[in-house]
Homo-oligomer: A and B are copies of this chain.
Amino acid sequence: MKQLKFSQHLCFPIYALSRLITSHYQPLLGELDLTYPQYLVMLLLWEHTSMNVKTLGETLMLDSGTLTPLLKRLEAKKLIKRVRSKEDERVVNIQLTAQGTALQQQAGEIPLRLADSLGITAAEAQELRDAITPLLYRLKPALRG
């Protein structure tokens, strides 16, 4: 069987584009002392006020091995509180602090500044998102093993 050339592989452009976009976020998020995954968590909390670790993980498609230390860093920065649920002691609820809530103001311009940094228009960004989002949720999760 003929080997596919490197350039014919689907995987690489998505992998590289994801990292490239993250690298454009970095200087903007650096002003808020956030990493990109930390920013995603903050976006969700700004929208929902409180979420538990499991729900965050399902939404971001990240497991507790990634989230637990990330959330501890956000807590160390006093942006969130980690509160074990009274109703179900297995659950940890993540709540915004006043400082975490206040940070939303500084974050408002980031999407526009990001598009500017990337050199794409809002329309192009939407087109790409519309191409990718349905695929993301249609693909089967990988089988372990």
Which of A's residues lie within 8 Å of B, judged by CB?
Answer: 1, 3-6, 8-27, 36, 40, 43-44, 46-47, 59-61, 104, 107-109, 111, 114, 117-120, 124-126, 128-129, 131-133, 135-136, 138-145
In the bound assembly, the distance between CA atoms of A22 and B18 in angstroms comes to 12
In the bound assembly, the distance between CA atoms of A21 and B120 in angstroms comes to 25
A136 contact from B3, B20, B47, Cβ within 8 A: B20
Set of chain B residues within 8 Å of A131, measured between Cβ atoms: 128, 131
A118 contact from B8, B20, B140, Cβ within 8 A: B140
Given A1-B109, A27-B145, A142-B117, also A10-B21 (CB < 8 A): yes
